Structure 1
Amino acid sequence: MITLNLLSPATNQDRAAIIELLTSQNLPTADLPVSLANFLVARDPDIINGTVGLELYGTIALLRSLAVAPNQQGKGLGNLLYQAAINLAKDKGIVAIYLITNTAEAFFTRQGFMKVERAAVPEAIRQTSQFTTICPVSATIMCRKIN
């Protein structure tokens, strides 16, 4: 059960803590957007225990940087962050969310994502640094339509 973790929009003051958390989970930080407007954090009360972000490209988005601090894993915080990201996507009029993963295919399959061939990925996503340089070609690309 999750206790004391409050979800809120990320601010620029959260950048260093987000980078530290992502680095601890071996997730990329070099291409973290200047604006964290579409990032969320979980605080307990002043420590960031989790984060997730969306990069918006018209009516599609790239889900990225879903990370939970090791001492908070297994308590449902990842699911909470994921659901908050889906709600944010709906609020922004997103119709499909893409992601690139090396390690979390099973988690995202349970969330309704399906594997997508690289050639079928929309151009806007294919031009992201996640797609072109940061994630290996062997990474799994997944998509979920938003109702």
Structure 2
Amino acid sequence: MRELTLKEIPSGSDLRAALMAAGLPIDDLDEPGRLYFECRNPDGVLIGFSGLEKGGPDLLLRSVVILPEFRSRKHGRELVLATIAQPPSSAGIYLATTTAAAFFELLGFEAVTRDRVPEPVLSTHQLSGLCPASATIMRLNRPPT
């Protein structure tokens, strides 16, 4: 598979529309401490978006969406791997999901209880209010399989 490229972008209408269409939260997109990326294939075609939110020295992976016409082609895996390669390796990377825990396990994440999540990450708008309490919180712990 040819490599995808990420480019940092502001939280614009294309990102917002893609997240809304996928049923993902958008309420706090414009708050500080967030980085968003557009993902393009080698031909320059937009295929999805991703984001990172600062939680102290750690990060929350969020706003990962592949546009519908590009799903089921392993682009989600490539997008997540490219996104988590952005921060320094010393940063812990967390996420919350209600439907994709098995997918993220294949990429090196494992479920953690809330008491094992650093307070700055737990205090993000995403984890403190936007995601349901039933969401699985995961931390990147090992290289992807």
**Normalized against structure 1, the TM-score is what?**
0.83
1:130 matched to 2:136? The reply is no
1:49 matched to 2:47? The reply is yes
What is the alpha-carbon distance in structure 2 between the residues aligned to residue 96 and residue 36 of structure 1? 15
Q: CA deviation at 1:57?
A: 2.9
Q: CA deviation at 1:6?
A: 5.0
What is the alpha-carbon distance in structure 2 between the residues aligned to residue 120 and residue 10 of structure 1? 30
Question: 8 Å contact 1:10–1:37 — kept in the other structure?
Answer: no
Question: 8 Å contact 1:54–1:61 — kept in the other structure?
Answer: yes
Q: 1:54 to 1:146 in 2, by over 3 A?
A: farther
SS at match of 2:132: coil
Question: 8 Å contact 1:9–1:38 — kept in the other structure?
Answer: no
The percentage of counterpart residues that share the same residue type is: 33
Equivalent of 1:102, from 98, 103, 113? 98
What is the alpha-carbon distance in structure 2 between the residues aligned to residue 32 and residue 141 of structure 1? 20
Q: CA deviation at 1:58?
A: 3.7
Unpaired runs of 5+ in structure 1?
none
What is the alpha-carbon distance in structure 1 between the residues aligned to residue 113 and residue 31 of structure 2? 29
Q: CA deviation at 1:75?
A: 1.1
SS at match of 2:86: helix
Aligned to 1:73: 71
Q: CA deviation at 1:11?
A: 2.2
What is the alpha-carbon distance in structure 1 between the residues aligned to residue 31 and residue 77 of structure 2? 26
Question: 8 Å contact 2:4–2:78 — kept in the other structure?
Answer: no
Question: 8 Å contact 1:18–1:48 — kept in the other structure?
Answer: no
SS at match of 1:89: coil
**Normalized against structure 2, the TM-score is what?**
0.85
Aligned residues: 142
Equivalent of 2:86, from 68, 85, 88? 88
Instruction: Pick the structure with more helix per residue.
Output: 1
Unpaired runs of 5+ in structure 2?
none
Question: 8 Å contact 2:110–2:140 — kept in the other structure?
Answer: yes
Aligned-residue CA RMSD in angstroms? 2.4
